[in-house]
Amino acid sequence: MYAQMVKSTGQGVKSRDEMSAEERDFQDKVDADIRIEPRDWMPEGYKKTLIRQIGQHAHSEIVGQLPEGNWITRAPTLERKMILLAKVQDEAGHGLYLYCAAETLGVTRDEMTEMLLSGKMKYSSIFNYPTLTWADIGAVGWLVDGAAIMNQVPLQRTSYGPYARAMVRICKEESFHQRQGYDIMMRMARGSEAQKRMAQDALNRFWYPSLMMFGPSDANSVHSEQSMAWKIKINTNDELRQKFVDQTVPQAEYLGLSVPDENLKWNEEKGGYDFSEPDWDEFFDVLRGAGPGNTQRLTDRQKAWEDGAWVREGLMAHAEKKAARKVAAE
Ligand code: BYC
């Protein structure tokens, strides 16, 4: 049932005249910034869009542990190892808050996991790129968590209560993640020539995939118009991408690294940088499952799901026994 629910809803935004009385009341609440809670009436499309977005977001947090988890055993010092371990554990926590938020809409975590593993639900394109060197861990924290914060801070004001509340804690933790990534980059960029080269190489490889995290350009975004009318999204994809570039370029300059874009130029008139678009063909290839790491990531998640079966079965057996004891005692 939910496999159908996550299919695109992009069929244009209804005018007030086209709305039913319930839909009008709902839209009035959203327009007045009154939070929508799980027991409130909501249009089916609103629910579908939330399940798609929150589910995709939760999967991203879980799959997103893989490229960094891969480096825990190889972190250069005990301190770096402890920090990275804590960060990766935080990402697991984010996934759990988000699965719980999605569950308030009537879909189970198992259903969402099955849709991820069968390819019916997505996760962020960025996690299909490999982390080849220690500097990549710095670039992921700085750029990937930096892009995530840019997108997630406005989501603290999203219209659906459980999603907005999950975002508050997630954003606090993401700020620490971004800072630890920048700290790694700073050490590398101010280290030996070889370390500086590694830092530049990581920036070169992660720059455009990070820009892609914000989704397709506004002209090609299927869901933005309706999602913004429902305040599921607060900004368009291009608005957030621009803010990210404007914030990140001075940070790269401070590191003494160059952003790999010949067209990057401050535009006084718009008060922001002009920059090159990412290769959108590459983005859509990654979405179709043909990115450099798609197969590996899904194989790893499939294995984790199968390896965890005994834990789920044990918990269920315990819960059933407890319930049976309670019935017997009554
Ligand atoms: N990757 O109509 P559009 C993290 C899809 S994790 C894959 O603009 P929408 C972290 C989109 O789903 C951070 N797919 O979509 C964790 C749609 O396809 P469907 C993750 C993408 O939803 C561990 C189609 O393209 N953050 O921080 O209005 C370690 C058309 O797009 C992507 C979130 O998930 C993409 N990048 O806007 C470190 C934030 N972009 O579903 C860090 C919450 C687009 O119709 N999500 N697509 O088949 C959002 O804000 C929105 O969903 C997006 C896309 C801005 C991403």
**pLDDT digit string (tens) for 233-261?**
999 999 999 999 999 999 999 999 999 99
Token pair listed for 48: 């579908």
Q: Is the dihedral of CA 75, 291, 243, 101 positive or negative?
A: negative
pLDDT of residue 3 exceeding 70, the answer is: no
Q: How far apart are CA 147 and CA 139, in angstroms?
A: 11
pLDDT of residue 319 exceeding 90, the answer is: yes
Q: How far apart are CA 184 and CA 58, in angstroms?
A: 26
Which of 227, 287, 288, 294 to mutate for ligand 1's pocket (most ligand atoms within 8 Å of CB)?
Answer: 287
| pTM summary value | 0.94
DSSP element (H, E) containing 88: helix 78-103
Q: How far apart are CA 210 and CA 149, in angstroms?
A: 12
Q: How far apart are CA 55 and CA 49, in angstroms?
A: 10
Residues with CB under 6 Å of ligand 1 are: 8, 52-53, 56-57, 60-61, 64, 91, 122, 124-125, 144-145, 148, 151, 212-216, 221-224, 227, 233, 237, 287
Tell me 34's DSSP state.
P
Whole-number Å distance, alpha carbon 9 to ligand 1 midpoint, is 15
Q: How confident is the model over 38-67, as pLDDT tens digits?
A: 999 999 999 999 999 999 999 999 999 999
Q: How far apart are CA 44 and CA 134, in angstroms?
A: 45
Whole-number Å distance, alpha carbon 212 to ligand 1 midpoint, is 9
Whole-number Å distance, alpha carbon 313 to ligand 1 midpoint, is 32
Token pair listed for 250: 């001075």
